[in-house]
Amino acid sequence: MRKLTLSTAETIISAAYEKAAELSLKPLTVVVLDAGGHAIALKRQDGSSIMRPQIATGKAVGALAVGTGTRWLNANAETRPHFVNALNGASGGAIIPVPGGVLVKNEEGETLGAVGITGDTSDNDEACAVAGVEAVNLVADCG
């Protein structure tokens, strides 16, 4: 697979929601971006708060910006806050540096896009993103 399709993005989102139901999580918002950072699909579960689309997108954009999942950004926000602040400034404030943003890669390691999820704890958001990516037989890079 050389790019993510709408059908693939919808399957990722559905699988992420299945994982959330299995874990009895709070309402989630999920976005799938292509490798250029353009939204392919975004869905909000009933009860998601108003800023969730922006947060989910910020997680996915962050993963694409640094070439790895946002768990890496979170660690760097703690150890190198000046770097993450500068990166966020350079992006116009578009990056959310907490877990829940994962890169989507093919078996060859090529980045196809990113998934961003928000609504529960960052660790649970990330677990749902990974489940979504794995459901379409692609590789999730959490950082």
Dihedral angle sign, alpha carbons of residues 80, 86, 87, 93 = positive
Range of the domain at 43: 6-141
Does residue 20 form part of some domain? yes
User: What per-residue confidence (pLDDT) applies to 75?
Assistant: 97
Domain of 58, CATH number, reads 3.30.450.150
The string of pLDDT tens digits covering residues 120-129 is 999 999 999 9
The string of pLDDT tens digits covering residues 75-93 is 999 999 999 999 999 999 9
Does residue 83 form part of some domain? yes
Spatial contact of 31 and 64, defined as CB atoms under 8 Å apart: no
Q: With bands split at pLDDT 50, 70 and 90, how would you rate the model's confidence at 2?
A: confident
Tokens of 123: 């660790």
For 132-143, give one letter per residue: b (16+ CB within 10 A) or e: bbebbebbbbbb
DSSP β-bridge partners for residue 5: none
Does residue 1 form part of some domain? no
Total domain count, the chain:
1
Tokens of 24: 């009895």
